[in-house]
Structure 1
Amino acid sequence: MKFRPLLFSLSLFLILLNGLLIPSVHAQSGNFLYGDQLPDAPELSARGEYKVGVQTINLVHKNQVDILNSKEGKDPLYDRPITIEIWYPASVSEDAKTVVYDEVMGTAGDTLRPLTPFAFKGRAYRDATPMTGKGKFPLIVVSHGYVGSRYLMTYLTENLASKGYIVAAIDHTDSTFKDANAFQSTLLNRPKDIRFIINEMEKIGAIGSKNKLENLIDSNNTGIIGYSMGGYGVLNVGGAGYSEAFAGFYTGMTGGSTSISVNTANNEEYKKLADDRIKAIVAFAPWGMERGVWDAEGLKGLKTPTFFVAGSQDDISGYEKGIKAIYEGAVNADRFLLTYKNARHNVAPNPPPAEALALGLHIDEYYRYAEPSWDQRKLNNINQHFVTAFLGIHLKNQDYGKFLELQENSNEKDWTGFKPRSSTGMELLHANPTN
């Protein structure tokens, strides 16, 4: 199952290629890297006090349902490989060199969009020594879209680590650019992967782990961030159980497998999965409401404070009957909904790489990242600002309430933390839990 945004006209595509709009997407031109502040960036988007280290860890989730080889309702098991990237506060020598991330565009098996390698610079330091003497740092787990990768939101992962968080971003097997596979794997494994990584990060941070992050991870103080299918996953992990109707649909599409039922709202095993380590959720453009993934009872199970981010013209997850309907239905959670007016689905990723403009590449390589109505760098800065405020309140007890206690319509009055005249085109809703 693949989702492709609307195509620009050929004439506009040629304009892009001829360079008239190139400055808006060359986010890494000169010394400007993903996540850096624009001149009008809001206050809390600034990088924090820490230098940032980064490491890659390969994990195996043993004895998982091999849904891609399920037949006649019989689910074989396999050992599921999962790679994560971890960013953390670090001590860095003066002569250390910042990281270069190796990434790809395209989608595995898609002849129209073959895998195309590219690289981009970050502001982290590969395998740097972790910062010690500051106590433990709260844990953040990040889940990308379908398809995507652990590098899809480095503007945010690096930024949060610089502010004193340990951030683990997941490469979801069968759901990355490099290994995209049938959609039923993504539907089943998103919440399972997220739970697994929280548990593994707790082990990595435990005394005696022999990992460089030993005794530095406060897993009892965890936030989870998801974009698109990642949003689908983090909401379920946070308590929003899937509907019975969705479970029935899944059983039909997999030839009889009931493996997803463990994540439905009325399943007793699902209720036992409630995780009080999770103190905050950020859901960028979460997918599923328009497809019947949740019903009213399922959404009532979401009780963890949640910050939703959406585009008012989202044509993948939907807005009024999609993301906003989730926000309205999650009546037992303290929740916010930040809406970018006229934006579509891509409210969360890094800006498009310069290579996405190369002649001959499919325009969807550009639109894997780009937002048609907003400068992606500005979106990134605003996301950094609000996510910092929200997580700071719930994971660090920071006094950031003034940055969220705002007039709904940003056009009527400058929002706190924004430079004069810069907070236009947005809406921020807030609802308290009913119970």
Structure 2
Amino acid sequence: MIKPTLFRFAHLQILLCFLVFNSVLNAQNESFLYGDAMPDAPELSARGTYKIGVRTMDFVNKGQADVLNSKNGIDPIYDRPLKVEVWYPALLANGATESVTYNEVMGTAHDTLRPLTPITFKGRASRDAAPLTTDGPFPLLVVAHGYVGSRYLMTYLTENLASKGYVVVAIDHTDSTFKDASPFPSTLVNRAKDISFVLNQMANLGKAKDKNFLSGLVDSENIGIIGYSMGGYGVLNVAGAGYSDGLVGFFSGMSGGSKAIAELAMSNPKFPKVDPRIKAVVAFAPWGMERGVWDAEGLKGLKVPTFFVAGNQDDISGYEKGIKAIYTGAVNADRYLLTYKNARHNVAPNPPPIESLKPGLHIDEYYRYAEPSWDERKINNVNQHFLTAFLGIHLKQKDYSKFLEVQENSNEKDWIGFKPRSSTGMELLHEKPTP
């Protein structure tokens, strides 16, 4: 029989051990920020040598079709606001640190089961730091989130790439963020248009002779576009993959929007007008192929080098008849397909925020970010590695080809740049343009 005093002493020891462990765990969580390298992170995922700044900007795309307020098949015209976040190589003042707090929300607007809840998380950037102009100009990267999402959805990537000498701008797509989620037609019509508009705004500011902070910082002749899910749907169109007449027909049966989407269809004689400044495309889990958004002719319009990323269990965009079918059909592009085996759709976002772990929340708050079979931090590091290689080749003329010239199945042999035994569960395909 255990004496009561001995039991209480043992109980106190257990409680003390738990408190110490919990304190250590919290300290580790505070020191590890989104995008930091895990012990098995591949070589090119390491943060670059540039200190980075971050700023918020507001743009207005005037004279756009307001498809959500159409009447009798006529779209009213409105000025479309777009908030963006810009990360850039910076010159930090003495004593300044790369530390920033991002203000975000969980939940979805107008969803009573998932009400909007403010959250914050930290990043490695300096708010409103002075730009570093002595080493510029730097290639421009435009980043588009999914439906729903925000400009802060992939800070692990935007910060990392900026530290390697890029100006990175991520868009809050109006009607498509956590805070203002609206009916889907607005996202279908506006995603590609938003990307093109922000790209041009950033390029123009970079060339301007006034004293805006981007002046002289942006290399507008070397641009990459990056999109996730509906962002992938958008960047592929901007890069030349015209939408199908089936998508146009879908809008024709609605109250409006058909003219606006028809401008982006492959059958439009004025499409495609691919911006020659776009030298590289990254499409994470692009949505639409299973819904008839593209046909064979539309996919032939994609000629810009493209890096696709997918999970072979994607139940949102689809894999064999979705993402992989886009990769296979884009016969005129030099293209790669990185596949995470047993991953679903979340191959692009930050790890789940700590607030999503609280009991009682809708599980989709966690699964908006998490993968059931993968550590999201591992996926983040692998994405950093491969995008550094791919974008470095096409936008910086870096000799990173060896990191992409690996055997298809990562289980057969350690991939170049990966630590021993760390590159399992992936596949990397590569197809060159059809002669």
TM-score using structure 2 length: 0.93
Cα distance, 1:412–1:27 mapped onto 2, change above 3 Å: farther
Q: Which residue of 2 aligns with 1:177?
A: 178
Segment drifting more, 387-396 vs 27-36: 27-36
Structure 1 residue 27: Cα displacement: 11
Deviations 1:85-143 (A, max 9, x none): 00000011242241100000000110000000000000000000111211310000000
Task: Report whether the alignment pairs 1:189 with 2:190.
Answer: yes
> Is the Cα contact below 8 Å between 1:75 and 1:257 reproduced in 2?
no
Segments of structure 2 that go 5 or more residues without pairing to the other structure are 1-21
Partners of 1:356 and 1:262 lie apart in 2 by 40
Partners of 2:257 and 2:34 lie apart in 1 by 44
Secondary structure of residue in 2 paired with 1:109: coil
> Is the Cα contact below 8 Å between 1:227 and 1:285 reproduced in 2?
yes
Q: Which has the larger radius of gyration?
A: 2
Structure 1 residue 215: Cα displacement: 1.0
Structure 1 residue 390: Cα displacement: 0.1
Partner letter of residue 95 of structure 1?
Answer: G
Q: Which residue of 2 aligns with 1:30?
A: 30
Superposed CA RMSD in Å reads: 1.6
Partners of 2:413 and 2:360 lie apart in 1 by 45
Cα distance, 1:28–1:188 mapped onto 2, change above 3 Å: farther
Q: Which residue of 1 aligns with 2:329?
A: 329
Q: Which residue of 2 aligns with 1:90?
A: 90
Structure 1 residue 274: Cα displacement: 1.5
> Is the Cα contact below 8 Å between 1:27 and 1:353 reproduced in 2?
no
Cα distance, 1:209–1:254 mapped onto 2, change above 3 Å: farther
Secondary structure of residue in 2 paired with 1:258: helix
Runs of 4+, deviation exceeding 3 Å: 25-28, 253-257
1:143-158 equivalence runs, <5 A: 143-158=144-159
Partners of 2:123 and 2:244 lie apart in 1 by 40
Partners of 2:35 and 2:88 lie apart in 1 by 16
Higher RCO (CA < 8 A, seq sep 6+): 1
Secondary structure of residue in 2 paired with 1:383: helix
> Is the Cα contact below 8 Å between 1:194 and 1:233 reproduced in 2?
yes
Counting matched residue pairs gives 412
Partners of 2:339 and 2:27 lie apart in 1 by 23
Q: Which residue of 1 aligns with 2:314?
A: 314
Structure 1 residue 270: Cα displacement: 2.2
Secondary structure of residue in 1 paired with 2:165: coil
Partners of 1:331 and 1:28 lie apart in 2 by 46
Task: Report whether the alignment pairs 1:217 with 2:223.
Answer: no
Partners of 2:258 and 2:335 lie apart in 1 by 34
Cα distance, 1:417–1:256 mapped onto 2, change above 3 Å: closer
Partners of 1:206 and 1:429 lie apart in 2 by 38
Partners of 1:199 and 1:360 lie apart in 2 by 44
Segments of structure 1 that go 5 or more residues without pairing to the other structure are 1-21
Partners of 2:56 and 2:210 lie apart in 1 by 16
Partner letter of residue 246 of structure 1?
Answer: L
> Is the Cα contact below 8 Å between 2:296 and 2:329 reproduced in 1?
yes
Q: Which residue of 2 aligns with 1:121?
A: 122
Partners of 2:332 and 2:274 lie apart in 1 by 15
Partner letter of residue 60 of structure 1?
Answer: V
Partners of 2:89 and 2:32 lie apart in 1 by 21
Deviations 1:192-216 (A, max 9, x none): 0000001000121113242111111
Identity of aligned residues (%): 72
Cα distance, 1:35–1:398 mapped onto 2, change above 3 Å: same
Cα distance, 1:161–1:248 mapped onto 2, change above 3 Å: same
Q: Which residue of 2 aligns with 1:289?
A: 289
Structure 1 residue 382: Cα displacement: 0.1
> Is the Cα contact below 8 Å between 1:107 and 1:178 reproduced in 2?
yes
TM-score using structure 1 length: 0.93
> Is the Cα contact below 8 Å between 1:414 and 1:422 reproduced in 2?
yes
